[in-house]
Structure 1
Amino acid sequence: MRSYPARFLISFLLLLSVPMANAGPRPSVVFLSPDDSRFWQLVAGFMEAVAEDLEVDLEVQYDRESHRFSYLRMAKDVLSREDKPDYLLFMCKEHVTESMLRLADGAGVKTFTFNTDVPDAARASIGMPRSVLSGWLGHLSPDNIAAGRSLVTLLGKQAEQLGLASGPSIPMVALSGTLDSSATKDRNGGLLAAAVQQRSELMQLVYANWSGTLAREKTEVLLKRYPNTVSIWSASDGMALGAIEAARNAGRTPGKDLLVGGVDWEPEALESIRQGELLVSLGRHFMGGGLALLLLHDYHHGRDFGDMSPDYVFRYKLEPATRDNVERVQRIMDSKNWSAIDFRRFSRVGETDTGKTVPDSDAVLDAITGALAGQRADTVARRE
């Protein structure tokens, strides 16, 4: 049996092994969610789990009007407060990103943008983080171009394996989001590039505004127009599930004679993968807000993230959920697991090992997903 002094020493050493998140005042962050959809609720829920461990005062506001002008109005309301937050965290939207960043900079509130790329117009006017506006600390987004390309590749390979690609090309239709979304534009860009380079032949690309209902209606028309369609590329899981419903109504068998792929790792999509109807969902970007909070927490406590990305811009890859790994992905998505791990372990505050490899955003997310899936993630190393 250990003596009391020995047990005290062990407890003290264990305490020192976790970076201290409460060294200094608690940072206050307001996150402006662009809507209250299932995906953004997942984003906010994960952020809340991270904020609790890191002792960050997080306020989440949902834009229930889901419009760029209502989004801008939300930012103005926050920035006009007498007691302003330390940081404003939001998604880039076409035509209002520059205004939101300039307003925050003028109000003395530091900002961090994430989830979608910086619109071209804003980039042309104010550059990227810290180039014109010193209070714009950083930007984080998934590689949506690679995601669009990867979805075409995965659909095409499965079509070949199932013997659905008997001709010289694989007939494919595509469902995309909204015209004012940079995620839409980038995923479309990956789609179009891959369709040219691979066997998949894009018959038609339509916009379904991220709506499952609209996707179902448009897919019903597309399948009548192109009855030989083999695959349906969808920029979101919600639209993919709408396409699956339309395919069933048309007498097709999703997963057998028609392949559908989406993006988002939505719970309903993961269940559809388990049932064999949805081929694949690309995801993990629901953790983007949590990673942004982690970076802001470390910045607030004196550990800037410039060594992780000299231009303060971070990009990470989306990962596929398939029948082969859906159980693992569901553990990652389980909110009970979010509270089971201590997110302080991924902070670099208090880190003294100067010879340690500097992580990148993919490596940090790999470590987090590994921990959530029950795998070892005690260290964060750069992915080769």
Structure 2
Amino acid sequence: MLKFFYTFLLMLGTTYGPVARAESVLFLNPGKVDEAFWISYSQFMQAAATDLGIDLRILYSRRMPELTLAQARLALQGPDRPDYLVFVNEQYIAPQVLRLAQSSGVKLFMVNASLTANQMSLLGERPDRLGSLVPNDEEGGYLMLKELIRQHPPVAPGQVIELLAFSGLKITPSAQLREQGMMRALAEHPEVRLRQLVYSGWTRDRAYEQAKLLLRRYPKVSLVWSANDEMAFGAMQAYSETGGVPGKDALFSAVNTSTAALKAKVDGRLSVLLGGNFTLGGWALVELHDLDRGVDISQYGGRDRQIPLLQLIDKSTARRMLAMGDSPDYGVDFRRLSAKGRPTSYRYPFSLQTLMR
């Protein structure tokens, strides 16, 4: 039975790279196998793994935390253990993963969402937890609304700009942080009135159904903030069905640099686009490769770091990213990013600009 279950879990994932490599890494991808963001995330990780000589394996859990934990249990307590386990504190599952990892010999690294302050105080430091890399989600949510408001035509004194907001899963750290950033920007602009914030679970269909109702309820909405691209497209579809023109009659924003989102930015349907966080897993592999070679990454910016990956994407950058296509190596020499042998003043150049060179 266990063998069957193990085979089933492997079928939900994707195995990359030759078997005989220097260090082995398993990434528990919390997304779905057809989710554009998490596909691009895995592709960038594979580009890094190929360049660095890492044996990388990726399993998708289809946004089911119970499946992530089952995959972690097999990886940490089964016979075929990786050297490193990379995972996301999605829906706050990190404490369970850390408990499973005790005495396993597997070293842990977190991406996208690390331990919360409460979790850290309860769990304390552990030698098998090597570190974490997370993006600037709160700042991203803030920048997105600030730019939407900047692009909106000014209103007369006493008039308001009406806003709708579509967030992800309520118990997902990235959704919460982006929402907090949006609220920080909102507090700076009393002329903007948030009519409603809804949770669309990161999905286009859910956002579409919600937007159909909300746009009937609030027909004067002219700003739409969305925590990812799929929800933005759902809201845009509903808005178009009312006879409105996205980018003209109402301004829409999104996070993620999927091909569809980049094209929507270029053609003006998306007024504001943020992206760059799909690179996080690849940058994490650079740090893991250094750790495996004896580098003390705490001397090069810290073992737990937030990096400003989310940035505003203008039309020029969107065109350049579209022109890059599906280049297998993204034009990045990951080995040259290593801190090994560098002075402690060196900082890893983890940013979207590294891809643009």
Task: Normalising by structure 1, report the TM-score.
Answer: 0.82
Q: Is 2:44–2:330's contact at 8 Å kept on the other side of the alignment?
A: no
The match for 1:359 among 343, 347, 352 is 347
Q: What is the alpha-carbon root mean square deviation over aligned residues?
A: 1.9
The match for 1:211 among 197, 200, 203 is 203
C-alpha distance in structure 1 between counterparts of 2:80 and 2:59, whole Å: 16
1:156 partnered with 2:149: yes
Correspondences of 1:133-172 after superposition (within 5 Å): 133-160=126-153, 163=154, 168-172=159-163
Deviation string 1:246-289 (CA, Å, 9 cap, x unpaired) is 11001111001100001111211111111210112211110000
C-alpha distance in structure 2 between counterparts of 1:165 and 1:293, whole Å: 51
Deviation of 1:341 (Å): 3.7
Q: Is 1:338–1:372's contact at 8 Å kept on the other side of the alignment?
A: no
Amino acid at match of 2:193: E
Q: Is 1:30–1:89's contact at 8 Å kept on the other side of the alignment?
A: yes
Matched residue, 1:19: none
The match for 2:263 among 268, 271, 278 is 271
Matched residue, 1:194: 185
Q: 1:371 to 1:26 in 2, by over 3 A?
A: same
Q: 1:159 to 1:166 in 2, by over 3 A?
A: farther
Matched residue, 1:32: 28
Correspondences of 1:332-343 after superposition (within 5 Å): 334-336=325-327, 338=329, 340-343=331-334
Equivalent position SS for 2:321: helix
The farther-off stretch of 257-266 and 91-100 is 91-100
Deviation of 1:299 (Å): 0.6
Q: Is 2:77–2:100's contact at 8 Å kept on the other side of the alignment?
A: no
Q: 1:236 to 1:339 in 2, by over 3 A?
A: closer
Correspondences of 1:241-280 after superposition (within 5 Å): 241-280=233-272
Deviation of 1:95 (Å): 4.2
1:75 partnered with 2:100: no
C-alpha distance in structure 2 between counterparts of 1:371 and 1:147, whole Å: 19
Deviation of 1:101 (Å): 1.7
Amino acid at match of 1:359: R
Deviation of 1:371 (Å): 4.5
Deviation of 1:158 (Å): 0.6
C-alpha distance in structure 2 between counterparts of 1:208 and 1:339, whole Å: 31
Correspondences of 1:223-242 after superposition (within 5 Å): 223-242=215-234
Q: Is 1:240–1:262's contact at 8 Å kept on the other side of the alignment?
A: yes
The number of equivalent residue pairs is: 334
C-alpha distance in structure 2 between counterparts of 1:226 and 1:80, whole Å: 53
Deviation string 1:277-311 (CA, Å, 9 cap, x unpaired) is 01122111100000000000001011121012345
Q: 1:318 to 1:239 in 2, by over 3 A?
A: same
C-alpha distance in structure 1 between counterparts of 2:48 and 2:158, whole Å: 50
The match for 2:109 among 86, 107, 112 is 112
C-alpha distance in structure 1 between counterparts of 2:157 and 2:246, whole Å: 18
Q: Is 2:339–2:346's contact at 8 Å kept on the other side of the alignment?
A: no
Equivalent position SS for 1:106: coil
Deviation string 1:74-129 (CA, Å, 9 cap, x unpaired) is 100111222311100011123421110222233121000011243454233124xx
Unaligned 5+ segments in structure 2 are 1-20
Unaligned 5+ segments in structure 1 are 1-24, 376-384
Task: Normalising by structure 2, report the TM-score.
Answer: 0.88
Q: Is 2:307–2:350's contact at 8 Å kept on the other side of the alignment?
A: no
Q: 1:112 to 1:311 in 2, by over 3 A?
A: closer
C-alpha distance in structure 2 between counterparts of 1:28 and 1:304, whole Å: 19
